[in-house]
Amino acid sequence: MEALALRCLFPGFVGTTPPEWVRRRAAQGLGGIVLFGRNVETDAQVTRLTAALHTERPELVVAIDEEGGDVTRLEAKTGSSYPGNLALGVAADPSLTTAVASALGGRLAGLGIDLNLAPVADVNTNPLNPVIGVRSFGSDPRAVAQHTAAWITGMQGAGVAACAKHFPGHGDTSVDSHLALPVAGEDPHVRALDPFRAAIDSGVRAIMSAHIAVPTIDEGPATLSSKLMTGLLRDELGFQGVAVTDGLEMRGLAERHGLGDRAVLALAAGCDGLCVGGGLCDEGVVDEIVAAITAAVERGRLTEGRLAEAATRVGALASPFKEKQIADRRDGDEIGLEAARRAIRADGAVRVGGDVAVIRFEPPASIAAGDVPWGAATALARRGVRVVETVTEVAGKDLVIVVRDLHRQPENRLQVDALLSRRPDAVVVEMGVPVCRPQAAKAYIATHGSARVCADAAAELMTG
């Protein structure tokens, strides 16, 4: 029972080399490891890290959240070379989406990554959603479905398993599941399931659960609901791959059950891979979960057959790709910048001169994205502009106002409006979801994401 339980776990760890306990657990049959930004320094270092893990157990699944755009682990220090989903959705070319995912997948495969916990397949139907936003391909379920399938085709074609998330759809919520349990206001059959059907049809290897309540189907969190993870995902949609949980330590689950119980209930509901390690990342977490699962089987709360089924699915997750040749790919910066350019939308006199003051308005912190650099100042400076980052306008300099998801920030909106009343010539650059253009903004650029390449594309427009 302990061996089967261990094979279902995807913990994380701190550091840029695998600690002793991770190596030992990998050799004992650990199912997988999830890498975070804290585990990444350089490509060469990541390659050594994954090689060390696979040396302990070749079948070990090394996973990472590398969505591109706002959520990047490989480029958390600089910003991503690839635009995120909303930019790709706005570009409206599924072949471009496939090319971007293929380039990203080729890089991941070369680093020894087996599973990418992406793409986001959520339909962003609630503009006030605090955690999905630009991570979604958009609000049209048909378009989101088309781009989801295209992204999966590119990623898996490059030799890395993809994972569509967050089932059955986190788009119609107004709460971040990292902080509390969101409630979906709409039955997922109306819109949210379309991208997951497309993902399944395209052969996606894994689907990640959402820590959300879907009252039209079940009152409890989807991750712990057999009606959703078995009845809907398996029986109705016919998914046969690996169902992976979102992080078990997230507060969307933590308010109701202890960690061990969460793991047991997720397995009983139909989940196979248990992700933990974003916050809880030591061996004690693994011990606690393995002990809870073993005890649950002994007491009849979880059947041995269900546990064995989950372990078998996880074991087969990446096997089709282990010997797959990495697809030929274009340079990531090249295809990423091309996609970012095609996603830019601009209106008015957006050109600036050689001396620019940049005022950036910070949005609320995103746990999903982490602390990744963003904004336009560095991109402008790379193009030879003399840039001053400031909190107020500077006499004699052009003004660029940079915002992200301004529609969710009433205090920032008031400050931006006040600035524009004094400086109607300012260029406003929105790097989030562009649903709140200030009325006084005569020059406006929407990048549809805050990736480094999105900033570069905006800087190109402003400097000509």
Q: What is the pLDDT of residues 404-413, one digit of tens each?
A: 999 999 999 9
Domain ranges of the chain: 2-321, 344-463
Judge if the upstream peptide bond of residue 407 is cis by omega within 30 degrees of 0.
no
Task: State yes or no: pLDDT of 322 exceeds 80.
Answer: no
Task: State yes or no: pLDDT of 291 exceeds 50.
Answer: yes
Distance from C-alpha of 62 to C-alpha of 269, rounded to nearest angstrom = 24
Fold of 2-321: TIM Barrel (3.20.20)
Contacts of 79 (CB under 8 A, 6+ apart): 72, 372, 373, 374, 450, 451, 452, 453, 455
pLDDT at res. 333:
65
Q: Alpha carbon of 384 to those of 7, 140, 353, 381, 394: distances in Å?
A: 53, 39, 10, 5, 19
Question: CA 245, 250, 256 angle in degrees (round to 5)?
Answer: 95
Question: In the chain, helix, strand, coil percent, each to 5?
Answer: 40, 15, 45
Task: State yes or no: pLDDT of 361 exceeds 80.
Answer: yes
Of the residues 147, 166, 178, 448, only one is catalytic, namely 178
Q: Is 178 a catalytic residue?
A: yes
Of the residues 246, 272, 398, 405, only one is catalytic, namely 246
Tokens found for residue 95:
């072949």
Task: Please give the single-letter amino acid code of residue 253.
Answer: L
Highest mean predicted confidence (pLDDT) among 131-135, 324-328, 356-360 = 356-360
Task: State yes or no: pLDDT of 328 exceeds 80.
Answer: no
Cite the beta strand spans of 28-127 per DSSP E: 32-35, 61-64, 115-116
Q: Alpha carbon of 234 to those of 228, 240, 306, 318, 397: distances in Å?
A: 9, 7, 14, 20, 59
Task: State yes or no: pLDDT of 330 exceeds 60.
Answer: no
Cite the beta strand spans of 366-419 per DSSP E: 386-389, 398-403
Task: Please give the single-letter amino acid code of residue 94.
Answer: P
Contact call for residues 112 and 165 (beta carbons, < 8 A): no
What are the DSSP calls for 176-238, one per residue?
-TTTS--B--S-TTTTTTHHHHHHHHTT-SEEEE---EETTTEEEEGGG-HIIIIIIIIIIT-
Which residues are bridge partners to 429 per DSSP?
Answer: 402, 445
Judged by DSSP in three states, 282 sits in coil
Q: Is 122 a catalytic residue?
A: no
> How many other CB atoms are there within 10 angstroms of residue 428's CB atom?
26
Contact call for residues 98 and 153 (beta carbons, < 8 A): yes
Calculate what percentage of the chain has a pLDDT beyond 70: 97
Considering the chain, what is the average pLDDT of its residues?
Answer: 94
Name the residue among 449, 376, 364, 453 with its Cα closest to residue 133.
449
Fold of 344-463: Rossmann fold (3.40.50)
Average pLDDT for residues 346-367, to the nearest whole number? 94
Q: How confident is the model at residue 414 (pLDDT cuts 50, 70, 90)?
A: very high
User: pTM of the full predicted structure?
Assistant: 0.95
